[in-house]
Chains A and B, each alone.
Chain A
Amino acid sequence: MSDTENQRDFLETDDDFKESPFTDTVSDAREEFKCDASDKGETTSLTMTRKRPESKSSTESEESSQGKDKDTDAGQKDRPSENYQGGWGYWGNWGKSLITSATATVATVGQGISHVIEKAESSLGIPSPTDMSGELKKEETVDVLSTAGDAANDKSSSNTSHIGGAIGMFSSLTNVVQSTGKTVLSGGLDALEFIGKKTMDVIAEGDPGFKKTKGLMLRTSTLSEVLREAKEREEQQTSHLVDTDTTRKAHYGMLFDELQGLSHLEALEILSSESAAKVKSVFTTLSGDELAKLKEELELVKKSFSLIEFDEEEEECIDDDGEEFVKEVTAAMAEMKIMVTADKLVQARKRVEDWMSDINTQREEEEKARCITEEIHASAIRSLAELTARAIEQFHKIAELVLHSQEEKDTVLQQAKILSQMTIILCKEVSVLSKKFTSSLTVVGTHEKGDVLNPLITGIFLEASNSASYIQDAFQLLLPVLEISYIQSYMRTA
């Protein structure tokens, strides 16, 4: 354990950091990414292990891996590197996508991830990694393959689904967060959601106040209520602070409300529940056969709402400037056959791009770079809040227009498909943005101490994960709306 501690200190002190041998390892790692990124085997695993020392796990397996990483003490005594193959695969992907865009930042991004972990562990007051891994085991149904103690040695886990695999491979909570962080970077949206949920659990353990919010999430029925509670908590907290202006800049919940995200969500909920009630009442008027037939047809609508899959491969184009997104949402809305445009979403995305180029301009000036970490964080949170608010507004407007239009059944089915596609586009963009902002942050923040940078990075990933969940939940609210629209068309033709 003391060994681990030492390493951590050595990595965290930023003066040390600049002159330490670690810088060499970093550039080595980068070299390896360049040459062998596609090789998911040993080379990437080496790269990975170089990052491991930054995590503060205290479990046995961790220590051994850290020993190996350092190449100074224990050496490569225990495990063959292929133990990690499944996991490395993801690192490999991640490396690839970054290399195509930002080779120079690879090492620092890696550092950032570990900082995330550090933050999750240290600042949230997690009791003990082993306790927590027990907790997680109970909750994580995907993880069926390995146990806490020997997870790292379990070869089979590395070949399973990435989340299960990732968890199986590591044995402590720290590592859950770490692996999640990893998957986020490799582009998994499910992982974004996963990190959100997990972190909720994690935070709840160390923060009784948060536990309440979490409990509330289970209790309350609507998403907007949950969000409103969260926002109110933020308001309450910030109302005690003198410097409200700067602190409020980065409060997702309050920004989301200010940008009318909550209102649109609530209005969408109203329409959704009214539609659901209408669907139910239609069902009661139908005879057995008719009802069965209608329900069967409605399954077609439902299908689009249940088959959301995020294709990770496509996410490698991380370096786009949002043009692709703009094109996609504009095209999708044009196909809806209702009078709806994606103008507001497009504007929001453009604003995000403006902020990003501001940041990049400032980043180039070394002097300024030091003071803009907070600014990047604020921009990131604001971007996420704004994009999400506009996404919810888009769905709300769609609901209104669908309800008052009279479309044919086929059109409704088509609309369902477009909306599911739209959800994917939106969530991907959220994920891409969070990655862009965090890599900016890690590049700029190399001089910052870990405890400054880590909460910022974690915050961005958390809100990105929340954003993705809100968007997906809002999308689900559209199901009854499309159902009643379909039913109306069905009745007209029947």
Chain B
Amino acid sequence: MEAIWIYQFRLIVIGDSTVGKSCLLRRFTEGKFTDVSDPTVGVDFFARLVEIEPGKRIKLQLWDTAGQERFRSITRSYYRNSVGGLLVFDLTNRRSFEHVKDWLDEAKMHVQPFKIVFLLVGHKCDLPSQRQVTREEAEKLALACGMKYIETSAKEATNVEESFTVLTRDIYERVKKGEINIEEDWEGVKSGFIPNVVHSSEEAVKPGKRCFC
């Protein structure tokens, strides 16, 4: 992993148990897919750099939460320091889709006073025959909640990269516009180190809090 990035975004991945959150993350960060995996305990961590513009990289720190209800009280503690996240449901599991609204409400409640940007992810699109949620209704829900929607498959590596880049770009735009700010005591967005080559760009000057001494 390269050490140079202009921002670090902390993203949280939430959604019902067994919708494939960890698989999605493993595909994104390690390029691997495993059919069986142990349920996540509490939270696990992944990290990857994403290049949003040539020479501009953003480090994504990914918090993979347990979907199981029994860990809910613990995973709630982790929401606060995230700037955004993937809200994942299983296209072949209607109930996981029905819980989307609950997940969103809970997340919004726990990130107060900060805002959180979510992307709705319909996962396991490699199983069309078992599909229980149509693209239309998912899109409708996403729109109603102010989210973008994307359908992915970790198994076939469909839209995995895209889902993370879409979300990252979305957050990046908001940071640029000043809708999201770097704050003390908040880990959601952090400014990183700027390689000498981009010193001309606005980002190089922006994070005034960093001092190179």
Contacts and interface: CB of A to CB of B under 8 A. Distances in A.
Contacts of A271: 74, 77
A339 B71 CA distance: 13
A224 to B, nearest CB: 10
A400 B76 CA distance: 12
Interface in A391-405: 396-397, 400-401, 403-404
Interface string B124-159: 000000000000000000000000000000000000
A267 interface: yes
Interface string A236-253: 101110001000100000
B77 A212 contact: no
B73 A403 contact: yes
Nearest to A266: B187
A104 interface: no
Contacts of B193: 232, 235-236, 239
Interface stretch (A114-122, A256-264, A454-462): A256-264
A419 to B, nearest CB: 17
Nearest to A257: B47
A263 B45 contact: yes
A239 B42 contact: no
B122 to A, nearest CB: 27
A254 interface: yes
B61 A263 contact: yes
Interface string B29-66: 00000000000011101110000000000000101000
Q: Which of A232, A244, A264, A267 has the most CB of B within 10 A?
A: A267
Interface size of B as a range: 20 to 34
A260 B41 contact: no
B103 interface: no
Given A235-B3, A258-B1, A271-B74, A400 B41 contact: yes
B172 interface: no
Contact of A267 (B1, B47, B78): B78
Given A258-B1, A258-B47, A239 B195 contact: yes
B4 interface: yes
Contacts of A232: 193
Contacts of A339: 41
A212 B212 CA distance: 11
Interface of A: 209, 212, 232, 235-236, 238-240, 244, 248, 254, 258, 260, 263-264, 266-267, 270-271, 274, 339, 396-397, 400-401, 403-404
Given A235-B192, A260-B45, A400-B71, 14 more contacts: A235-B193, A236-B212, A239-B4, A244-B2, A254-B3, A260-B46, A267-B43, A274-B77, A400-B41, A400-B42, A400-B43, A403-B73, A404-B70, A404-B71
The 9 closest A-B pairs by CB, nearest first: A400-B42, A263-B45, A260-B45, A235-B3, A236-B193, A270-B77, A239-B4, A400-B74, A239-B3
